[in-house]
Amino acid sequence: MSAKTLMIQGTASSVGKSVIVTALCRIFRQDGFKVAPFKAQNMALNSFVTREGGEIGRAQAVQAEAAGIEPSVHMNPVLLKPEAEAKSQVIVLGKVAKNLEANQYYDYTPHLLGVIQDSLNHLRDNYDIVLIEGAGSPAEINLKEREIVNMRVARMVNAPVLLVGDIDRGGVFASIIGTLELLTAEERNLVKGLIINKFRGDLTLLKPGLVSLEKKTTKPVLGVIPYFRGISIAQEDSVYLDERTDRLDGKGVNIAVIRLPHISNYDDFDPLEEMGCNLRYVTEPPALSNADLIILPGTKSTIADLLYLRQQGLDQAIIQRAKTGTPVIGICGGYQMLGKTIKDPYKVESTEISVAGLGLLDMETTFDQVKTTTQIRARLVANKGLFEGLKGAEITGYEIHMGQTRSQNHPPAFQVVETPQGTADYSDGAVNGDCLIFGTYIHGLFHNVNLTLALLNRLRKLRGLPVAAKISIDRDEQYNELARIVRENLDMSEVYRIALERKHG
């Protein structure tokens, strides 16, 4: 029998849809259901590679982890990765299909409906409940006729919808009422309940507003989820970087991540903050003055973001800090920037055939038309500087890149020994002579807690700081805590009645 469906939509982007779906995935799993997440179309630069080598949104991979299942391309059949020059790379069932401008994409969306329907049917055939996440708002009246991720998907499977509003940003009552007013009668009928998210303060002062909201909309408020901290759930929207607060306590390691315009997979660095580092995303040279470590992150548009570094004066600031002994790490696109030259003979990324890199590593990157997407297991081969005494340490992660990088004079950082397809034997990354500058294509590097702790302690010794004791980051415990918070503040008996069309428990 096909699975039951429940859809979480929001009044806007970044209201907390992904986090609520993550929580419900864990709650349904705790209650004995086989549950899978689904998002028809995702626009995100935070992505993940599945075991079959397909690329999906990072949020759906996290939701699958919370549900206790393996991520699949069917959980996010269409992924849009914004590029420079107002284009997006369109990824369908995990593989690059096209590069399109916005107006071209909306002419293309009707061709994607069959793919979306097939993926949703596949999940419904294999799970008890499919939790569907919307994108942005269902009330974007200029896009409603062409959207393929909100009410069109809800109607596709007659999914009941819970509408989420963010009270922390203000105007939550107007946003909920306005959203419902802009829906058709059929769409409003699919909305079965309302959720207020990110609440701070005295709930008794909010209750009169909730009563009025229910009267005006004739929809029940199923819960008020409090604003919480201390739970690290990977975000898909870079709006998160605008809302986060930097911690500078004057005690820990100061890490500066360059905030590139097309920064991708910035959740790579969440473990650094969880381990007590002072992590900042910076856009100006003065912000590098007290950095103990500089990180060039991944990017969807390496050449455009390299030119941005030059416009901001960040390129020279990074080079000067590196010359004075500040370690520099490049991940994926950031790794490519560390080299002498980036070549783009097929104009994959830009109209530039060749661009000079930062020159901190003696290597050259050439973009090609085939995208590498694979999970990996690798061993560390470097044994100096930040990696002293760590040779042979094993890590897991994943690669997502269009280019291939070659170095004649620098040893590799890692040796890849396994992919999901079987054993492997190829080098990754490069390190300079003292191993204080290195780059790698491996995303998820810092999620290897033991290696990261050892690397940070090497950095602490180099900077004259006390080393840290062993730290445990229990992702499962965080999902359970998130589930507890949502379960305690959401009428789960009513959620089950809506989702299952009957009571549960």
CATH assignment of the domain containing 332: 3.40.50.880
Instruction: Please report whether residue 438 resides in a domain.
Output: yes
Domain with 109 in it? 4-232+478-500
Based on the fold, state whether residues 453 and 483 are members of the same structural domain.
no
> How many C-beta atoms surround the C-beta of residue 311 within 10 A?
8
Average pLDDT over residues 414-438: 93
Instruction: Please report whether residue 346 resides in a domain.
Output: yes
3 state SS for 321-359: HHHCCCCEEEECHHHHHCCCEEECCCCCCCCCCEEECCC
- Tell me the pLDDT band of 80, cut-offs 50, 70 and 90: very high
Place of tokens 């050892």: 454
> Which CATH number do you get for residue 206?
3.40.50.300
Instruction: Please report whether residue 470 resides in a domain.
Output: no
The DSSP bridge partners found for residue 295 are 257, 329
Q: Are 461 and 294 in contact (CB under 8 A)?
A: no
Based on the fold, state whether residues 187 and 318 are members of the same structural domain.
no
pLDDT of residue 351: 81
Instruction: Please report whether residue 237 resides in a domain.
Output: no
pLDDT of residue 362: 94
- Write out the two tokens for 370: 């085939």
Based on the fold, state whether residues 298 and 359 are members of the same structural domain.
yes
Does an H or E element contain 158, and which?
none
- pLDDT tens-digit map of 289-306: 999 999 999 998 999 999
Instruction: Please report whether residue 55 resides in a domain.
Output: yes
Place of tokens 């929001």: 10
Is pLDDT of 395 > 80?
yes
Q: Are 177 and 213 in contact (CB under 8 A)?
A: yes
pLDDT of residue 472: 73
332 assigned to active site:
yes
277 assigned to active site:
no
pLDDT of residue 123: 98
Is pLDDT of 358 > 70?
yes
Burial class (CB in 10 A: 0-12, 13-18, 19+), 481: middle
Is pLDDT of 173 > 60?
yes
Instruction: Please report whether residue 238 resides in a domain.
Output: no
pLDDT of residue 243: 61
**Total structural domains in the chain?**
2
Based on the fold, state whether residues 75 and 178 are members of the same structural domain.
yes
- Write out the two tokens for 194: 């309302």
**Pairing state of beta strands 161-166 and 4-10?**
parallel
- 74, 401, 410, 443: the active-site residue: 443
Based on the fold, state whether residues 258 and 178 are members of the same structural domain.
no
Instruction: Please report whether residue 240 resides in a domain.
Output: no
The DSSP bridge partners found for residue 443 are 398
Shortest CA distance to 393 belongs to which of 384, 383, 377, 380?
380
- Tell me the pLDDT band of 505, cut-offs 50, 70 and 90: low
% of the chain with per-residue pLDDT over 90: 78
Based on the fold, state whether residues 221 and 105 are members of the same structural domain.
yes
- 74, 332, 435, 447: the active-site residue: 332
- Tell me the pLDDT band of 239, cut-offs 50, 70 and 90: low
Q: Are 332 and 401 in contact (CB under 8 A)?
A: yes
Is pLDDT of 220 > 90?
yes
Based on the fold, state whether residues 364 and 492 are members of the same structural domain.
no
Average pLDDT over residues 375-381: 96
Can you give the pTM of this predicted structure?
0.92
Tell me the average pLDDT of the chain: 92
pLDDT of residue 308: 95
Based on the fold, state whether residues 458 and 489 are members of the same structural domain.
no
Based on the fold, state whether residues 482 and 456 are members of the same structural domain.
no
Instruction: Please report whether residue 335 resides in a domain.
Output: yes
